[in-house]
Structure 1
Amino acid sequence: MESTVLSLRIDGELLERLRGHAARRGMSVQDYVVRTLIREDFDERFKTAVDETEKFYGTEDPPSAQVRPSAGIA
Protein backbone atom coordinates (compact mmCIF):
# COMPACT_ATOMS: atom_id res chain seq x y z
CA MET A 1 0.00 0.00 0.00
CA GLU A 2 1.31 3.41 -0.93
CA SER A 3 1.50 6.04 1.77
CA THR A 4 1.22 9.79 1.44
CA VAL A 5 1.96 12.59 3.86
CA LEU A 6 -0.94 14.59 5.28
CA SER A 7 -0.03 17.70 7.22
CA LEU A 8 -2.52 19.19 9.68
CA ARG A 9 -2.63 22.40 11.64
CA ILE A 10 -4.58 21.85 14.85
CA ASP A 11 -5.28 23.74 18.02
CA GLY A 12 -2.84 23.12 20.90
CA GLU A 13 -5.67 22.09 23.23
CA LEU A 14 -6.89 19.48 20.74
CA LEU A 15 -3.35 18.14 20.33
CA GLU A 16 -3.04 17.71 24.09
CA ARG A 17 -6.35 15.82 24.21
CA LEU A 18 -5.19 13.60 21.33
CA ARG A 19 -1.91 12.94 23.14
CA GLY A 20 -3.86 11.89 26.22
CA HIS A 21 -6.14 9.55 24.26
CA ALA A 22 -3.16 8.06 22.43
CA ALA A 23 -1.12 7.63 25.62
CA ARG A 24 -3.94 5.74 27.33
CA ARG A 25 -3.83 3.27 24.46
CA GLY A 26 -0.04 3.13 24.30
CA MET A 27 -0.01 4.70 20.84
CA SER A 28 1.59 7.65 19.13
CA VAL A 29 -0.67 10.57 18.22
CA GLN A 30 -0.15 9.73 14.55
CA ASP A 31 -1.21 6.09 15.03
CA TYR A 32 -4.21 7.15 17.12
CA VAL A 33 -5.43 9.63 14.49
CA VAL A 34 -4.95 7.14 11.64
CA ARG A 35 -6.78 4.42 13.58
CA THR A 36 -9.65 6.82 14.27
CA LEU A 37 -9.90 7.79 10.60
CA ILE A 38 -9.87 4.12 9.52
CA ARG A 39 -12.63 3.31 12.03
CA GLU A 40 -14.78 6.23 10.81
CA ASP A 41 -14.25 5.18 7.19
CA PHE A 42 -15.27 1.60 8.05
CA ASP A 43 -18.41 2.78 9.86
CA GLU A 44 -19.41 4.92 6.89
CA ARG A 45 -18.81 2.12 4.35
CA PHE A 46 -20.67 -0.38 6.55
CA LYS A 47 -23.67 1.94 6.89
CA THR A 48 -23.73 2.47 3.12
CA ALA A 49 -23.62 -1.28 2.53
CA VAL A 50 -26.49 -1.85 4.99
CA ASP A 51 -28.54 0.92 3.39
CA GLU A 52 -27.95 -0.52 -0.10
CA THR A 53 -28.91 -4.02 1.11
CA GLU A 54 -32.09 -2.67 2.67
CA LYS A 55 -32.96 -0.87 -0.56
CA PHE A 56 -32.41 -4.08 -2.51
CA TYR A 57 -34.38 -6.38 -0.19
CA GLY A 58 -36.69 -3.81 1.34
CA THR A 59 -37.20 -3.34 5.06
CA GLU A 60 -40.21 -3.41 7.35
CA ASP A 61 -38.70 -1.25 10.11
CA PRO A 62 -38.46 2.50 9.73
CA PRO A 63 -34.80 3.68 9.65
CA SER A 64 -35.13 5.41 13.03
CA ALA A 65 -35.97 2.07 14.71
CA GLN A 66 -32.86 0.32 13.42
CA VAL A 67 -29.59 0.03 15.33
CA ARG A 68 -26.37 0.71 13.49
CA PRO A 69 -23.19 -1.01 14.70
CA SER A 70 -20.17 1.19 15.23
CA ALA A 71 -17.29 -1.26 14.75
CA GLY A 72 -17.38 -2.08 18.44
CA ILE A 73 -16.99 1.56 19.45
CA ALA A 74 -19.36 2.83 22.12
Structure 2
Amino acid sequence: MRMGSEVLSLRIDGELLDRLKNHAAKRGMSVQDYVVRTLIRDDFDERFKTAVEETERFYGAA
Protein backbone atom coordinates (compact mmCIF):
# COMPACT_ATOMS: atom_id res chain seq x y z
CA MET A 1 0.00 0.00 0.00
CA ARG A 2 1.32 3.40 -0.94
CA MET A 3 1.30 6.00 1.79
CA GLY A 4 1.79 9.69 1.37
CA SER A 5 -0.29 12.45 -0.02
CA GLU A 6 -1.19 13.66 -3.46
CA VAL A 7 -3.09 16.70 -4.67
CA LEU A 8 -6.58 16.43 -6.10
CA SER A 9 -8.14 19.58 -7.45
CA LEU A 10 -11.85 19.83 -8.13
CA ARG A 11 -14.20 22.45 -9.37
CA ILE A 12 -17.53 22.63 -7.53
CA ASP A 13 -20.29 25.19 -7.51
CA GLY A 14 -20.67 27.72 -4.73
CA GLU A 15 -23.82 26.16 -3.30
CA LEU A 16 -22.14 22.77 -2.83
CA LEU A 17 -19.06 24.41 -1.30
CA ASP A 18 -21.27 26.28 1.16
CA ARG A 19 -22.98 23.02 2.15
CA LEU A 20 -19.61 21.31 2.60
CA LYS A 21 -18.38 24.21 4.74
CA ASN A 22 -21.46 23.94 6.93
CA HIS A 23 -21.13 20.17 7.37
CA ALA A 24 -17.43 20.50 8.13
CA ALA A 25 -17.96 23.35 10.61
CA LYS A 26 -20.56 21.31 12.52
CA ARG A 27 -17.86 18.70 13.06
CA GLY A 28 -15.08 21.18 13.77
CA MET A 29 -13.22 20.14 10.64
CA SER A 30 -11.77 21.81 7.58
CA VAL A 31 -13.57 21.25 4.29
CA GLN A 32 -10.56 19.25 3.07
CA ASP A 33 -10.61 16.95 6.11
CA TYR A 34 -14.39 16.55 5.87
CA VAL A 35 -14.25 15.56 2.18
CA VAL A 36 -11.35 13.14 2.71
CA ARG A 37 -13.08 11.53 5.69
CA THR A 38 -16.30 11.17 3.68
CA LEU A 39 -14.44 9.55 0.78
CA ILE A 40 -12.66 7.13 3.12
CA ARG A 41 -15.95 6.19 4.80
CA ASP A 42 -17.69 5.66 1.45
CA ASP A 43 -14.76 3.56 0.21
CA PHE A 44 -14.90 1.41 3.35
CA ASP A 45 -18.68 1.02 3.02
CA GLU A 46 -18.30 -0.14 -0.59
CA ARG A 47 -15.53 -2.63 0.27
CA PHE A 48 -17.54 -3.95 3.22
CA LYS A 49 -20.65 -4.38 1.05
CA THR A 50 -18.59 -6.28 -1.54
CA ALA A 51 -17.11 -8.54 1.16
CA VAL A 52 -20.59 -9.32 2.53
CA GLU A 53 -21.90 -10.12 -0.96
CA GLU A 54 -18.94 -12.41 -1.67
CA THR A 55 -19.43 -14.18 1.67
CA GLU A 56 -23.14 -14.66 0.95
CA ARG A 57 -22.31 -16.11 -2.48
CA PHE A 58 -19.73 -18.44 -0.93
CA TYR A 59 -21.98 -19.71 1.87
CA GLY A 60 -25.30 -19.15 0.14
CA ALA A 61 -27.66 -16.38 1.18
CA ALA A 62 -29.95 -17.29 4.08
With normalisation by structure 1, the TM-score equals 0.79
- CA-CA distance at 1:7 after TM superposition: 0.1
Aligned length: 60
With normalisation by structure 2, the TM-score equals 0.94
Is 1:9 matched up with 2:11?
A: yes
Residue equivalent to 1:26: 28
Matches within 5 A, 1:27-42: 27-42=29-44
More helix by share: 2
RMSD: 0.5
Residue equivalent to 1:48: 50
User: Displaced runs of 4+ in structure 1, greater than 2 A?
Assistant: none
> 2: distance between equivalents of 1:59 and 1:17?
40
Matches within 5 A, 1:54-65: 54-60=56-62
